[in-house]
């Protein structure tokens, strides 16, 4: 089995890719995809730390990851619904164009 | 427990309902109001008969039945009310509902021209309800509440024609004068409650008129060695003095004649004024308590003397009055005095006996006078009547029966026997014989003034309607149609009650002679037997003869003065005035009690009022004004402080807050990427700090 740092490196890479995507993309859907990537990087971390912990038989990390995925799915549904509504309202999915909430 | 005892409350509640319904009717409906009032009281009469039947054949303590219930609880104290059914209650409710019904029927005729007919019947029903409640109450508090309610009804009915200033003043006078007695009455109630812890009369041994409570009260000595029982008895009696128009609080009763005549008959002759007598009879066990070291019960001694003095005083005043109703009013005061005297020296049976017989014949007399007044076109001055016998034969006959009963003409009139019972008791009264002679003097005067009134009203020829008649009573007489203004007999709705009452006055005699003294014994809760021996008892017979002689003298003298030569003109001088000008002036002036009170209490009160007014305006107003000015000054200072300091500071603070908010709102760019970037930078910073922190 690969050592822990391999997993953590993959997870960190995944997170950075996601963050970069979320920060640079103009399209709202792409931003959402970036966020999903970051979430999955976190999930990977959970699993990895659980697997290499002192009590891997307790299944806690697994449960945590499962919940996280479920919440991610719910969040994606909500996010997509928001994006569709924004698209209908502003006729664009470009987040830079949506700035009505300026202070 | 019998049905009637449980439902005794229906007797007062039915008239109360009638009053409520006719008060709530949207538009006045004459026949409905009168029908309701008479129907309700008639039903109460039937119930009263049932209650009366329930008390027959029982004697002593067995004759008393009570029904108590919890009214409300206040902490640990439970206030209990209840009603009591004993011979006293039964006799009174039967009398009140019977006489009341007849008077209600009479009123239909008497008030037929009045525009406030329905209001009249509403008030009458309210009065009847309160009076009946007063009779059945087994609780002094309940009795007091009803007592005040009858006072209110009396006020409303005396002032029924409130557009007349004299009626409004009389109503106020009646209310305020009785209030003086009521204050003492209330003090007595409070004291009684603090002594015994209950206001129920009879409560299976725990009531305030039962052995334990009485023994406790008589043992408790208060100011001046007076036992609590005596002091409370005197206070309660003061309430009775106010209500029953005894000296010195009698002044309201003659003035109360300003009310409609049926009211005078019902309230100010037969029932309400008798409430004081009834009260004393009700609390008799308390009144007759004898405290150690005094030979006679103190409250009863007071009752006797006040009663005797009032009896002869009021009879003396009645001699010189000229208003037909005022004569009867003073006669009522005098007869109430007899009742008190009877209570004081003879016990419940003697006093209440006279109350019951008096109720019948005095109601008869008042209704008769109402009929006369109605027939003579609202004329009340007996000097402008005369010869009415020809015009109103039925009224004359019934009035004569009432007059003979009141004067105490022997043998067939109940008034004779009840008065004789009182005189008999007075003769046997040990401490003093003076009440007896006062009573005898009162009897003489009664016979005299009633004869005088009869002669003025019925004998001679009609003196009203002539040109000499003064036009100050609202009727404009035109010459030539004097016959149209001749008195006329009243309709049957008015004469029928007169005839029934006259019949009762005679029939009551059957149960009240010493031969078979059923009524007085029934009131005492004793049984009566046919006892011919008692009648021919030497003492009784002598007394009968003495009082008959006195009455005959009174009537004879009255006839000699007024009957032989009936007055010809209304403004003729009174024959008695020519003989005894000085005494007559005292009597005509009612011993100047009104003037005395006006010169003392009323004036002092007015002075006190003016003083209070001055105090209010000059001193208290000044103080209030100073406080006002001071407050105003403080307010000005506060205002300046507000405007100059607080507002400035606040404005400055607001400006600062706005500036800060404007700066902060710059951060809210609306660009999601900006936010994300901030989060990313913050994340990296955190990671960096964490890494540095962990490596240390």
Share of chain B above pLDDT 90, in %: 41
**Quick check: B668 and A103 CB within 8 A?**
yes
* Closest-CA distance of chain A to residue B677, Å: 6
What pLDDT was estimated at residue B97?
A: 94
Alpha-helix runs per DSSP H in B163-260: 165-196, 211-219, 228-243, 252-255
- Angle ∠(B429,B431,B436) on CA atoms, nearest 5: 45
The yes-or-no verdict on residue B652 having pLDDT over 50 is yes
**pLDDT bracket for residue B460 (50, 70, 90):** confident
Closest residue on chain A to B675 (Cα): A23
What residues of chain B have any CB closer than 8 angstroms to a CB in chain A? 664-673, 676-677, 680, 683
Q: What residues have CB less than 8 Å from B393, skipping those under 6 apart?
A: B489
**Cβ contact B676–A103 (<8 Å):** no
> From CA A98, how far away is CA B675, in angstroms rounded?
13
Supply the Cα-derived Rg of chain A in whole angstroms. 17
Q: Do A101 and B670 touch (CB under 8 A)?
A: yes
Contacts of B664 in chain A (CB under 8 A): 103
Query: Structure tokens of B469?
Result: 């008649």
Pick from A22, A31, A99: CB nearest B670: A99
**Closest CA relative to residue B118, chosen from B130, B132, B106, B108:** B108
A57 touches chain B (CB under 8 A): no
Q: What is the mean pLDDT of residues B76-100?
A: 90
In chain A, residues with a C-beta closer than 8 Å to the C-beta of B672 are 31, 95, 98
- A37 part of contact set with chain B, CB < 8 Å: no
Given CB atoms, is A22 within the 8 Å cutoff of chain B? Answer: yes
pLDDT at B478 over 60: no
Closest by Cα among B145, B122, B159 to B23: B122
Question: Hey, is the C-beta of A100 within 8 angstroms of any chain B C-beta?
Answer: yes
Instruction: Flag whether pLDDT at B24 surpasses 50.
Output: yes
**CB nearest A96 (choices: B664, B673, B680):** B673
The pLDDT value recorded for residue B560 is 87
Average pLDDT of span B636-660: 93
CA closest to B676 among chain A residues = A23
Omega into B40 within 30° of 0, i.e. cis?
no
Chain B positions touching A96 (Cβ under 8 A) are 671, 673
The A residues from 79 to 98 touching B (CB cutoff 8 Å) are 95-96, 98
Q: Which residue of B has its CA nearest to A18?
A: B680
- Tokens standing for B545? 């003869």
A95, A98, A101 ranked by CB distance to B668: nearest: A101
Cβ–Cβ contact A12 with B under 8 A: no
> What are the pLDDT digits (tens) for B290-309?
887 777 888 999 999 999 99
Confidence of residue B533 (pLDDT cuts 50, 70, 90): low
Question: Does the pLDDT value for residue B623 go beyond 90?
Answer: yes
The confidence score (pLDDT) of residue B49 equals: 92
Quick check: A17 contacting B, CB < 8 Å? no
**Nearest chain A CA: its distance from B624 CA (Å):** 57
HSE, CB side, 13 Å, CA atoms: give it for residue A64: 16
pLDDT given at position B27: 80
pLDDT tens, position by position, B386-414: 788 888 888 999 999 999 999 888 877 88
Size of interface A-B (CB pairs under 8 A): 32
Please give the residue that has the higher pLDDT: either B189 or B346: B189
Nearest to B668 among A19, A23, A102 (CB): A102
| Dist. CA B32–CA B45, nearest whole Å | 19
Interface test with B, best of A19, A79, A97 (most B CBs within 10 A): A19
Report the alpha-carbon distance of residue B452 to residue B468 in Å, rounded: 22
pLDDT digits (tens, 9 = 90+) for B587-601: 888 888 888 888 888
pLDDT at B480 > cutoff 50: no
In this prediction, residue B535 carries a pLDDT of 62
Q: Check if the beta carbon of residue B93 is closer than 8 Å to that of residue B103.
A: no
Residue B19: strand, helix, or coil = helix
Q: Which residue of chain A comes nearest to B661, CA vs CA?
A: A103
Residues of A in contact with B677 (CB under 8 A): 23
- pLDDT at residue B479 in the model: 41
Point out the residue among A19, A22, A96 whose CB comes nearest to the CB of B671.
Answer: A96
Angle between helices B434-458 and B538-558 (to 10 degrees): 40
Partner-chain contact B671 A99, CB within 8 Å: yes
Among A23, A95, A98, the residue with its CB nearest the CB of B680 is A23
What value does the mean pLDDT take over residues B60-83? 84
Measured between beta carbons, the chain A residues lying within 8 angstroms of B691 are none
Residue pair B146/B137 in contact (Cβ under 8 Å)? The answer is yes
Given this model, what pLDDT does residue A58 score? 86
Cβ neighbours around B496 below 10 Å, total: 16
pLDDT at B537 over 80: no
pLDDT at B1: 57
Distance from CA of B626 to the nearest CA of A (A): 57
In this prediction, residue B280 carries a pLDDT of 93
Q: What mean pLDDT is reported for chain B?
A: 86
Do B70 and B506 touch, CB atoms closer than 8 A?
Answer: no
pLDDT at B582: 81
Alpha-carbon gap: B694 to the closest alpha carbon of chain A (Å): 18
Instruction: Write out pLDDT tens, residues B326-372.
Output: 999 999 999 999 999 999 998 888 889 899 999 999 999 999 999 99
Which letter does DSSP use for residue B111 in this model? T
Task: Give the pLDDT band of residue B531 (cuts 50, 70, 90).
Answer: low
pLDDT above 70 as % of chain B: 95
Helix (H) / strand (E) element for B424: namely helix B414-427
pLDDT at B476 over 70: no
Q: Which residue of A has its CA nearest to B665?
A: A103
| B690 contact residues in A (CB cutoff 8 A) | none
Band of residue B472 on the pLDDT scale cut at 50, 70, 90? very low
The answer to whether the CB of B211 falls within 8 A of the CB of B271 is: no
Contact between chains at B676 and A100 (C-beta distance less than 8 A):
no
Which chain A residues touch B669 with a CB distance below 8 Å? 99, 102-103
- Quick one: pLDDT band at residue B377, thresholds 50, 70, 90? confident
Residue B665 with chain A: CB contacts under 8 Å: 103
Nearest CA in chain B to A28: B672
The minimal CB distance from B669 to the residues A23, A31, A99 is found for A99
pLDDT at B477: 41
Per-residue pLDDT band for B532 (boundaries 50, 70, 90) equals low
Q: What pLDDT, on a 0 to 100 scale, did the predictor assign at position B530?
A: 66
Among candidate residues B88, B432, B126, the one with its CA nearest the CA of residue B267: B126
DSSP state of B73: E
Say if residue B482's pLDDT is above 50: no
How many CB atoms neighbour CB B105 within 10 A?
22
Q: Which residues of B touch A90 (CB under 8 A)?
A: none
Best of B667, B672, B684 to disrupt the A interface (most A CBs within 10 Å) is: B672
Q: Tell me what pLDDT residue B71 has.
A: 87
Query: Would you call A103 and B680 a contact, using CB atoms and an 8 Å cutoff?
Result: no
| Helical H segments across B248-381, by residue range | 252-255, 261-265, 275-282, 284-287, 298-318, 324-346, 348-375
For residues B100, B173, B601, B340, the Cα torsion angle rounded to the nearest 10 degrees is -10
């Amino acid at each position: 089995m690969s050592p822990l740092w391999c997993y953590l490196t993959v997870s960190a890479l995944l997170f950075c890719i996601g963050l970069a995507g979320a920060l640079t993309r103009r399209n709202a859907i792409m931003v959402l995809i970036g966020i999903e990537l970051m979430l999955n990087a976190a999930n990977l971390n959970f699993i990895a730390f659980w697997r290499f912990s002192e009590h891997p038989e307790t299944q806690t990390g697994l449960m945590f990851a499962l919940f996280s995925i479920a919440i991610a799915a719910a969040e994606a549904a909500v996010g997509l619904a928001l994006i569709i509504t924004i698209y209908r309202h502003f006729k664009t999915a470009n987040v830079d164009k949506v700035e009505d909430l300026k202070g | 427990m019998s049905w009637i005892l449980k439902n005794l409350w229906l007797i007062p509640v039915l008239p109360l309902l009638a009053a409520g319904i006719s008060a709530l009717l949207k538009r006045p409906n004459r026949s409905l109001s009168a029908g309701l009032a008479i129907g309700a009281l008639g039903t109460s009469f039937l119930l009263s008969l049932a209650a009366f039947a329930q008390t027959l054949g029982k004697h002593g303590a067995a004759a008393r039945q009570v029904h108590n219930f919890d009214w409300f609880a206040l902490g640990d104290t439970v206030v209990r009310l209840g009603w009591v059914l004993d011979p006293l209650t039964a006799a009174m409710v039967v009398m009140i509902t019977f006489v009341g019904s007849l008077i209600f029927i009479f009123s239909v005729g008497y008030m037929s021209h009045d525009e406030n007919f329905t209001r009249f019947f509403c008030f009458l029903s309210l009065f009847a309800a309160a009076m009946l409640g007063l009779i059945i109450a087994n609780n002094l508090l309940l009795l007091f509440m009803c007592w005040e309610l009858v006072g209110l009804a009396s006020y409303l009915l005396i002032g029924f024609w409130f557009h007349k200033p004299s009626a409004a003043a009389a109503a106020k006078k009646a209310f305020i004068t009785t209030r003086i007695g009521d204050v003492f009455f209330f003090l007595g109630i409070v004291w009684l409650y603090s002594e015994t812890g209950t206001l129920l009369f009879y409560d299976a041994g725990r009531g305030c008129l039962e052995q334990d409570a009485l023994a406790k009260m008589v043992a408790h000595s208060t100011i001046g060695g007076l036992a609590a029982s005596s002091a409370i008895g005197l206070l309660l009696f003061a309430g009775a003095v106010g209500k029953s128009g005894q000296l010195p609080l009698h002044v309201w009763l003659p003035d109360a004649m300003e009310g409609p005549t049926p009211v005078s008959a019902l309230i100010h002759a037969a029932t309400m004024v008798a409430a004081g007598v009834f009260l004393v009879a009700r609390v008799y066990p308390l009144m007759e308590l004898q405290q150690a070291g005094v030979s006679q019960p103190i409250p009863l001694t007071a009752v006797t003397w006040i009663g005797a003095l009032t009896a002869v005083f009021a009879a003396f005043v009645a001699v010189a009055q000229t208003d037909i109703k005022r004569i009867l009013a003073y006669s009522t005061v005098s007869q109430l005095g007899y009742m008190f005297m009877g209570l004081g020296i003879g016990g419940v049976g003697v006093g209440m006996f006279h109350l019951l017989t008096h109720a019948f014949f005095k109601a008869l007399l008042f209704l008769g006078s109402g009929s006369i007044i109605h027939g003579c076109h609202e004329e009340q001055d007996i000097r402008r009547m005369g010869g009415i016998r020809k015009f109103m034969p039925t009224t004359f006959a019934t009035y004569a029966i009432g007059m003979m009963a009141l004067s105490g003409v022997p043998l067939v009139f109940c008034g004779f026997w009840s008065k004789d019972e009182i005189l008999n008791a007075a003769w046997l009264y040990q401490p003093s014989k003076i009440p007896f002679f006062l009573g005898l003097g009162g009897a003489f005067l009664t016979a005299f003034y009633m004869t005088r009134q009869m002669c003025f009203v019925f004998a001679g020829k009609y003196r009203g309607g002539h040109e000499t008649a003064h036009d100050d009573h609202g009727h404009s007489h035109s010459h030539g149609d004097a016959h149209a203004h001749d008195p006329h007999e009243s309709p049957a709705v008015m004469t029928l009650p007169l005839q029934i009452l006259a019949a009762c006055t005679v029939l009551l005699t059957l149960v009240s002679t010493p031969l078979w003294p059923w009524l007085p014994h029934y009131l005492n809760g004793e049984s009566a037997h046919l006892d011919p021996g008692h009648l021919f008892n030497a003492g009784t017979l002598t007394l009968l003869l003495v009082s008959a002689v006195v009455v005959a003298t009174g009537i004879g003298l009255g006839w000699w003065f007024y009957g032989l030569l009936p007055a010809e003109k209304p403004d003729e001088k009174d024959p008695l005035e020519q003989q005894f000008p000085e005494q007559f002036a005292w009597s005509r002036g009612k011993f100047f009690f009104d003037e005395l009170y006006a010169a003392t209490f009323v004036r002092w009160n007015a002075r006190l009022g003016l003083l209070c007014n001055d105090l209010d305006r000059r001193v208290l107003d000044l103080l209030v004004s100073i406080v006002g000015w001071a407050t105003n000054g403080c307010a000005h200072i506060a205002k300046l402080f507000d405007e100059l300091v607080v507002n400035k500071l606040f404005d400055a603070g607001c400006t600062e807050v706005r500036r800060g908010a404007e700066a902060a709102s710059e951060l809210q760019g609306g660009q999601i990427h900006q936010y994300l970037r901030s989060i990313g930078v913050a994340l990296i910073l955190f990671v960096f700090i964490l890494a540095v922190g962990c490596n240390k």
